[in-house]
Amino acid sequence: MWRGAPSGVEQPAVQHAGRERHAVVQFSFQAEGEERINPLDGTPFGVNEVDDCWAVRTGTEYLWVLPKTEIPLRAGLSWEQRPAIGNPDQYWVSASAAGSPWPGPGQTDP
């Protein structure tokens, strides 16, 4: 079980640098004194399988340099799957942002 997880919620094993970090077998929920269930639909564990999910994220930053300030411009794109009965749900996300050239609280203008 990972830190901060509700009691009885398990996470699939994760490989990191050649070592297994979590030794938990399947995605499930088990309340005290109850049988394990699939948390997505409440069926008994193993009736409806939950497939592995993937996520891909990429982004870039351009630093716009002006005579008296710099403004960071950022953009990103991501695709991820979330657990669902049958096939995982798929989500696309695009994001953009710009930094503020004004000093924040407690900072002075150079």
Q: What are the tens digits of pLDDT across the range 44-70?
A: 887 877 777 889 999 999 999 988 888
Q: How far is CA 73 from CA 17, 95, 101, 108, in A?
A: 33, 11, 11, 22
**Has this prediction a pTM greater than 0.75?**
no
pLDDT confidence of residue 80:
92
Cβ contact 38:47 at 8 Å: yes
Question: Could you tell me if 81 and 57 are in contact, meaning their C-beta atoms sit under 8 angstroms apart?
Answer: no
Q: Count CB atoms within 10 A of the CB of residue 38.
A: 20
The model's confidence at residue 73, banded by pLDDT at 50, 70 and 90, is very high
